[in-house]
Amino acid sequence: MEYTFEIIGTKPILTFFNYQQTIERHPQRSTAYVGSYQCRLDALIAATQNIPHKPNWNWDRVVEVMVQFWVENEDRIQQWKRELDYWENDGLLVARVANIKLLRNELEDLLEH
């Protein structure tokens, strides 16, 4: 399976946790969201352990994709770090991990209906 990872932005802590609790209940979904108080790779990797109803994915491969993103996007990461610093202790850095095959299937199902 192939995965994708991207930083989406910063959000208030309560907004992220409410979203995570309502949206991420299905373990067969195509996406998962992680939040971190710090703009650091190790913090985002650790946050994958806190995903409620964690999908049955190859999480070692997901971590590899996260590391690859981190290595290839230094400028964007610095931008997100500055934005997170703006929030001080009231915000989280939010990132999305997606299973490309499941996401493609979901989109194709939408097009068929």
**What pLDDT is recorded for position 7?**
96
**What pLDDT is recorded for position 110?**
80
What are 14's two structure tokens?
């309560």
Distance CA 31, CA 38 (A): 21
| DSSP code per residue over 100-111 | HHHHHHHHHHHH
CA 86 to chain centre: 20
State which residues form the domain around 14: 3-112
From first to last of its 113 residues, what are the pLDDT tens digits of the chain? 699 999 999 999 888 888 777 777 776 788 889 999 999 999 999 999 988 778 889 999 999 999 999 999 999 999 999 999 988 788 999 999 999 998 888 888 888 87
What are 26's two structure tokens?
């299905």
Beta bridge partners of 6: 96
Count of structural domains within the chain: 1
Residue 36: closest CA among 17, 54, 55: 17
